[in-house]
Structure 1
Amino acid sequence: MGQRVVRVNELLKREISHILHTRYQAETVEVSILSVDVSPNLRSAKVFFATHGDPAIRERAERFFSRHHESIRREMAKAVTLKFLPHLEFIYDKGADYGEKLNQLLDDLGLEGETFPEPED
């Protein structure tokens, strides 16, 4: 991946997060933008997000993004100057769910505060 695409990924991630947490704060308070993956021709971008809480929050976030993806893109166009402004596709990142389940399993084991012996050489 070229250095330009990496910089555009970070720029779009920062700008989308800013738009969500300023203009759409009430609807997206439980949403985090994890990463953005722009195609090499800069025409499309996959925006990966995660939610905090139960599955109902995820469903609300998915409905929100399906309704507002074009308005988010228009707002982004005001702040970001690119030859082509990519079309945005919002995708829920299931990795956050796996991490949350793993944390829950560790909590259930009750290993907090226990010390483990050092391995012998």
Structure 2
Amino acid sequence: MRKNSIKNTRINGEVQRELSMLISREIKDPRIHPMTSVVAVDVAPDLKSAKVYISVLGDEQAQKSTLVGLRSAAPYMRGQLAKTINLRNTPELIFVIDQSIEYGVNMSHLIHEVTKDLPNDEEETEEAEDEELEEEEAEEETSEDSRLE
């Protein structure tokens, strides 16, 4: 099976959906932060393992404790997956904190910091466009006058 085959993509989505429901409804571990979401799942082509990318809304301590709680609940979740998803092999779950959202927020903040120091180019652009329109209108009037003569 190719890594990005249609079947593998479907399995990734199904495992992600089931894990999201398990984490939000069935797992009652106090270490797992209530605002934990499954961002993506990458099941290996041989179905032996699955990397589960999670996002935790909270500080670094909440992320670490959630990761510990999920790792301890992984065998239970694997068993539940085996019951709900009909696969030849039920993948071993490997939980990883997804930093992409935090990275995106940080980049957005940096872009905002850089652009706030720059002069406002929109006003200058609008003024330049107005001047160009006035020049074009003046040229059109001049060409119409020369045709009439």
Both structures adopt the same fold (TM-score exceeding 0.5)? yes
Unaligned runs of 5+ in 1: none
**Which runs of 5 or more residues in structure 2 are unaligned?**
133-149
Cα separation, 1, equivalents of 2:62 and 2:108 = 19
Q: Is the 8 A contact 1:35 1:47 kept in 2?
A: yes
- Matched letter for residue 82 of structure 1: L
Structure having the larger proportion of residues in helix:
2
Q: Does 1:96 align with 2:80?
A: no
TM-score (norm 1): 0.82
1:71-112, CA deviations, whole angstroms, 9 ceiling, x for partnerless residues? 111111121110111111001111122123235556778x6x
The CA distance in 1 between the partners of 2:83 and 2:109, in whole Å, is 42
Q: Tell me how far apart the structure 1 counterparts of residues 113 and 67 of structure 2 sit (CA, whole Å).
A: 30
2:67 alignment partner, SS class: helix
Q: Pick from 42, 49, 52 the counterpart of residue 54 of structure 2.
A: 49
Cα RMSD for the two superposed structures: 2.6
Letter in 1 for 2:10: R
Count of aligned pairs: 118
2:7 corresponds to 1:23? no
Residue 79 (structure 1) aligned to one of 75, 79, 84: 84
> Which digits, 9 at most, give the CA deviation of each residue in 1:47-82, with x for residues without a partner?
011111211110111111221111111111121110
Query: Partners of 2:121 and 2:69 in 1: how far apart?
Result: 46
Q: Distance in 1 between matches of 2:68 and 2:85?
A: 25
Output the TM-score relative to the length of structure 2.
0.68
